[in-house]
Amino acid sequence: MVNGNLHRQLFEKGAMFLNWYRRLEIALAVTQGLDYLHSFAHPPIIHRDVKPSNILLDDNMTAKVSDFGISKANLDMDTHVSTRPAAYCRYLNPEYFLRRHLTTASDVYGYGVVLLELITGQLSIDHKRLEDYNLVAWFKPRIVKQGIQAVIDPWLASNFPVCL
């Protein structure tokens, strides 16, 4: 794809600036892609590796979920896929580690981590982040105690809507 992947655009030098509305458009496109895989594909598909490097951006910066080489078709969505995950641990839902079952919830959790990266402009795991190297653990107490300004990507400055 012309604009590479979301990881490149969020975290690498020389990347294009993603304003708030572009980030929302990317998030919506990924949501629609995962919804299609889980609800409308026949048979339904569990992606198993939702992360920014698997979200490609075309010449209009429209997001496309990619890398289906490790996806698993699931004929009965009420059950799970009992294969090993392909995702990095940072994008796997905590329930996976308890039950060793991948479900659509695994993809949704990975998507949630991607959303946090879009909002904060930070990597999901960053050992340079002193408060907590895990973005999920870092995010929750900050937003509860200090509000959106404490977690929003500094590159966005105040160029985002705040709902009160």
Domain total of the chain: 1
pLDDT at 86 over 50: no
At 33 the pLDDT is 96
Looking at the domain assignment, is residue 140 inside a domain? no
Looking at the domain assignment, is residue 59 inside a domain? yes
pLDDT band at 1 (very low <50, low <70, confident <90, very high): confident
pLDDT band at 56 (very low <50, low <70, confident <90, very high): very high
At 104 the pLDDT is 85
Q: Output the pTM of the full model.
A: 0.83
Looking at the domain assignment, is residue 127 inside a domain? no
Given the residues 35, 49, 76, 132, the one annotated as active site: 49
Looking at the domain assignment, is residue 58 inside a domain? yes
Residues of the domain holding 18: 6-121
Distances (CA, A) of 41 to 55, 142, 159: 19, 38, 37
pLDDT at 82 over 50: no
Q: Cα(51)–Cα(11) distance, rounded to whole angstroms? A: 13
Looking at the domain assignment, is residue 84 inside a domain? yes
Helix (H, G, I), strand (E, B) or coil at 104: helix
Looking at the domain assignment, is residue 26 inside a domain? yes
Looking at the domain assignment, is residue 141 inside a domain? no
At 80 the pLDDT is 47
155: nearest Cα among 23, 35, 8: 23
- Supply the CATH number for residue 83's domain: 1.10.510.10
pLDDT at 44 over 90: no
pLDDT band at 67 (very low <50, low <70, confident <90, very high): confident
Tens of pLDDT, residue by residue over 93-113, are 666 656 666 778 889 999 999
To the query of whether residue 78 is one of the catalytic residues in this protein, the response is no
Looking at the domain assignment, is residue 156 inside a domain? no
